[in-house]
Amino acid sequence: MKDFPVSSPKNTTRLVRKKMEHPKVSSFKFILTWAILFLVALFFVQQRIDYTRTEKKVRQLMMEKRKIISSILPLQLEERYLTKLSNVENIARNSIYLRRPEPKQLIEITGKTAEKAP
């Protein structure tokens, strides 16, 4: 037995039968809904792919930075070693046999500009 709504003076609702949609319209709604869901999913997948690519690029750049820093460190240490005056004097005397100039070889420079000889 079917259940019918209670009809009383207070309840004025009526049962209205809806008109069935055309099959083309319902198919269009179904296709449109799935197309929208597909586009949203595609958007999120594309973002994830971009994120992983960016993460990989950052990792590669960090490795390159670490490699460059490790190649610069020995050069900095060598620069510090070679710029110490005592080391420069030792290298000059021992390696290339330089010696201190004699007093007559020294030229004293004053604050005045030097005049050119004719």
pLDDT (tens digit, 9 = 90+) per residue, 6-20?
A: 555 565 666 666 777
Close Cβ partners of 4 (under 8 Å, ≥ 6 residues apart): 15
Tell me which residue has tokens 């799935």: 34
> What does 41-107 look like in DSSP terms, one character per residue?
HHHHHHHHHHHHHHHHHHHHHHHHHHHHHHHHHHHHHHHHHHHSHHHHHHHHHHTS---PPPGGG--
For 62-89, write each residue's pLDDT tens digit: 999 999 999 999 999 888 888 888 888 8
Q: Are 15 and 5 in contact (CB under 8 A)?
A: yes
* Residue 21 clears pLDDT 50, i.e. is over it: yes
Q: Which residue has the higher pLDDT, 78 or 56?
A: 56
Res 12: pLDDT: 60
Res 23: pLDDT: 75
SS3 6: coil
